[in-house]
A and B are shown apart, each in its own frame.
Chain A
Amino acid sequence: MTMQFNEESFRGDYTFRNSPAAIRRFPFPFDRDEYMYSVNIEQHPGGPEGSPFEFAFDVDEHYVAEMKDREITLAEDPMRCQSLPHMELAGWDLLELIMVSKARDYPELFKLSRDGNAWHWINKPLGIDKKFTFLDPTTLPCGPLEYITRQAQGDFALLHEREGNLWLDAGMVTSQADWSLDFDVGMNFFEWHAPVPKARKMGVFDKALKFLLAVTQEKSYRRLNWTMTVNPRLDTSPENYHKWGPEKRTITPENVGAKQFLRVELQTFWRLPRSNALAFPIRCYLCNLEDIATQPKWGRRLHRVLRDIDPDLAEYKGFAVNQKVILDYLSQFDDGAETSPGIFPD
């Protein structure tokens, strides 16, 4: 299989699009007709062939364009990638994990040769051919975290474990759903989750922290999270709210199908071997309502989920202002028929 990479943009003219194959493999996050905040955790990698769960780090048709978009964001704001000094080792751990996984899972795209610490990395889609010395930062153009995450889709948080808590001490964050690395760096698990409504009260975070601390190497996990975004924009950061916030107001009954996107985060959790840090990659998938509705099960279900959702969550997920327009649009796909269990299309 040779992968075709889209020429597309995630800002300005927004030429981002999903091919029919990309739609069918979209990680639709609802396994039933209603939504409750929960810690829905599964082992990762592992899933149907071709699904975004099959491999450790999914590479899809948006890879090259997403990396270009990251480059633009970083050029405007280099603070989107930060690493406190004690996290450099964790950066190397992550670099190794990603290079080894990608070379194993996509041999036609990536190649890694290792002779002790002398490494040779080839990234064909991005045209990179690099020899460097593992664990020697002077042999890379930038730190290991930045180097590898300029070549991997999704945001990355590296968490340091101490005092029975997890601290967000390094990260690459250019496609976040409304959170800020600059604001959150150095915070612990509870502090940076503080804005999620209801979850704190439900004790969800205590459980989630306990779970994360228990993640061991050689066994990784994933969960899906979701939100809604107007336009296929990756960089919906608080810093740039003035750029994307007003776009919420451009939704009309005519354009809602094309402009309103369901934004799904595939979050994975990895214990890194040398640093004992946790890696928390957050991969973002976008799909507009029109495309979602091409899968009848998803069209029906999304209508029901968004109709019955707790108003606080609608607010938190950022679509309360457009909820009525969205529901009017989606109702045409909901004939009341039953939906099959699970997230995959029929």
Chain B
Amino acid sequence: MSKLALKVTAVETLSPLVKRFRFESPTGAPLPVFSGGAHITVEMPEGEIVRRNSYSLISDPYDGSGYEIAVRREDRGRGGSRHMHTKVREGDEITVSAPANHFQLDLRARKHVLIAGGIGITPFLSQLKQLGMEQKPFELHYAARSREEAAGLKLLPGAAHIHIHISDEGARMDLGAILDGQPLGTHVYTCGPDGLITAVADQAARLGWPKTSVHSEAFTAPPPGEPFEVVVKSSGKTVTVKADQSLLEALEAAKVEIDYSCRGGACGRCETHVTACDGRILHNDHWLSEAERAEQKTIMPCMSRFKGARLELDL
């Protein structure tokens, strides 16, 4: 994965829980442009551990002058977003990955319907810009509990096809009404809590939408948990995963080579075979099927944890 050494050039509070960050090249060289829905992985070194979280890019995909992300502070997380909120200041140096995209627009669609819940608005902010440039018909629905929490409001342009649903104001999102009657060839994209993603998928299925027109991204940072140990098969080495560290981060810290992209259990890149398992894998990813989870033969180290006597990984 190629890395970019950037500088933090702006930090802005969008809501009590959400901050916007802007990164630019210290030399002023243009950054690689990207596609709507892409993310970058941000490195957050703290003491001897390096946390890495992936965040959707919210800036104009074709503007190489800087990258912007919006980070929601998760106080019960393992510290990545807290680090961004409390430690990262304007002028700091910051290392990020080149953009990658697991939530791209399907440009074959005749129309795009984007449905965001809460901080799930972020990937759509760059997609909106791409759709605008491509002059593709779309509508966006953004649901949030309260206006105060709806950090995305500050980042959304006011436009007729952008609909805001604030549940505290009694304006709940009606998925049936949104999806029913869309023209043939419409694609729907959902980003937000699992419940919303499932609700949209169910609604689309009821209306007979083809599965290939229904897209979603459930992007969550890895949860903390109890510490545990894993054994690396090739070297026999035991790696300890701390409470506020993901298995992937612990393996990286132990210099075990492992592939990743989303770091959020969505892309499948980090999938690892389990060669011995005496205990229970706590699957937190969105990648493995129910059957695969039950088998306990594979694990997604970016998200999942373990409880038990012994877990050996084919690495």
Contact = CB atoms under 8 A, between A and B. Distances in A.
Given A273-B32, A273-B34, A274-B62, A218 B107 contact: no
Interface of B: 1-2, 32-35, 38, 61-62, 97-101, 104, 106-108, 130, 133-134, 212, 259, 261, 269
Contacts of A135: 133
A103 B297 CA distance: 50
Q: Which of B38, B61, B101, B212 has the most CB of A within 10 A?
A: B101
B162 to A, nearest CB: 23
Contacts of B269: 214
A276 B38 contact: yes
In the complex, the 7 A-B pairs of residues with the closest C-beta atoms, listed nearest first: A86-B107, A218-B98, A276-B35, A218-B2, A86-B108, A276-B104, A276-B101
B106 to A, nearest CB: 6
Contacts of B32: 217-218, 273
A135 B35 CA distance: 14
6 contacts: A84-B108, A216-B98, A218-B2, A219-B1, A273-B99, A274-B33
Contacts of A84: 108
A294 to B, nearest CB: 39
Given A275-B35, A276-B101, A214 B259 contact: yes
A161 B99 contact: no
Contacts of A275: 35, 107
A162 interface: yes
A305 interface: no
Contacts of A274: 33-35, 61-62, 130
Contacts of A140: none
B104 A161 contact: yes
Interface in A254-290: 271, 273-276
A271 B107 CA distance: 16
Nearest to B3: A218
A216 B107 CA distance: 19
A273 B134 contact: no
A217 B34 contact: yes
Contacts, number: 51
B21 to A, nearest CB: 21
Given A217-B98, A218-B2, A219-B98, 10 more contacts: A85-B108, A214-B269, A216-B1, A217-B34, A217-B100, A219-B2, A273-B34, A273-B35, A273-B99, A276-B104
Nearest to B134: A89
Contacts of B62: 274
Nearest to B98: A218
A13 interface: no
B266 to A, nearest CB: 12
A163 B34 CA distance: 20
Nearest to B103: A276
Given A218-B32, A276-B38, A276-B101, A162 B1 contact: no
Nearest to A215: B100
Interface residues of A, number: 19
A135 B135 CA distance: 12
A86 B104 CA distance: 13
Contacts of A86: 106-108
A167 B56 CA distance: 25
Contacts of B133: 135
Nearest to B1: A216
Given A216-B261, A273-B99, A89 B2 contact: no
A214 B261 contact: yes
B156 to A, nearest CB: 22
Nearest to B35: A276
Contacts of A89: 107, 134
A276 B37 CA distance: 10
Interface string A65-106: 000000000000000000011110100000000000000000
B39 to A, nearest CB: 11
A218 B2 CA distance: 6
Contacts of A218: 2, 32, 98
Nearest to B260: A214
A86 B98 CA distance: 24
Nearest to A164: B268
A276 B2 CA distance: 16
A217 B62 CA distance: 14
Interface in A195-231: 214, 216-219
B174 to A, nearest CB: 29
Nearest to A87: B107
Contacts of A273: 32-35, 99
Interface string A48-80: 000000000000000000000000000000000
Contacts of B34: 217, 273-274
Among A161, A162, A276: residue with most chain B CB under 10 A: A276
Contacts of B97: 216
B238 to A, nearest CB: 28
A274 B63 CA distance: 11
B262 to A, nearest CB: 12
Contacts of A216: 1-2, 97-98, 100, 261
A89 B135 CA distance: 13
B261 to A, nearest CB: 7
